[in-house]
Amino acid sequence: MSMPSPKERILATTFELFAKQGYNSTGINQIISEANVARASFYQYFKSKEDLCVEFLKVRHDYWFKELHQFIPKDRDAKSTVASSFDFLIYMNQKEDFRGCSFLNILSEIPMDNVKILSVIQDHKADLRKYFSELVEDQDLSDHIYLLFESSIIESQLFRSDELIEKSKKIVIQIIK
């Protein structure tokens, strides 16, 4: 197996450091050092920490949706698929030790006028909302499910517990026709 490229090492290190210490407390010098790349390599791929964050979030978006689609069995009805989506949150909590949502974690650290990063976060959340609206035709109901899903992520991270994910899943099963 070949060694990851400098860009891959930078992104993997970024994921670990942002998860452990947050966006604002993670500096470029630390990323360069821990990724074991030359400063020139970092700047070959990223003009700034902000550009790195945008790329990190785009990679995270692709990874998260790929994991979601692989986790959920194919050819299931809407109710089963939505229920499995909540099971996916439990799976991710176990896999990533309740690290929460990368997008919301970073959102809490950036100023709201940082449109470059904010727009990537908004796009991710819009895609997640669209995911539920494609499963459940009733727009109000699909938005309600989306909000339960989002709040389940936050609460499970805060309390390091899957309890409210399980409760949200039960509610969703009851309200989907």
Place 11 in a pLDDT band, splitting at 50, 70 and 90: very high
Q: Where are the domains of the chain?
A: 1-46, 48-175
**Which CATH architecture best describes the domain 1-46?**
Orthogonal Bundle (1.10)
Q: What is the pTM of this model?
A: 0.94
CATH number of 48-175: 1.10.357.10
pLDDT in tens, 13-71: 999 999 999 999 999 999 999 999 999 999 999 999 999 999 999 999 999 999 999 99
Q: What is the pLDDT of residues 86-140, one digit of tens each?
A: 999 999 999 999 999 999 999 999 999 999 999 999 999 999 999 999 999 999 9
Q: For the residues of the chain, what is the DSSP string, one character each?
A: -PPPPHHHHHHHHHHHHHHHH-STT--HHHHHHHHT--HHHHHHH-SSHHHHHHHHHHHHHHHHHHHHHHHSPSS--HHHHHHHHHHHHHHHHHHHTT---HHHHHHTTS-TT-HHHHHHHHHHHHHHHHHHHHH-S-HHHHHHHHHHHHHHHHHHHHHT-SHHHHHHHHHHHHH--
The reply to whether 48-175 shares the fold of 1-46 is: no
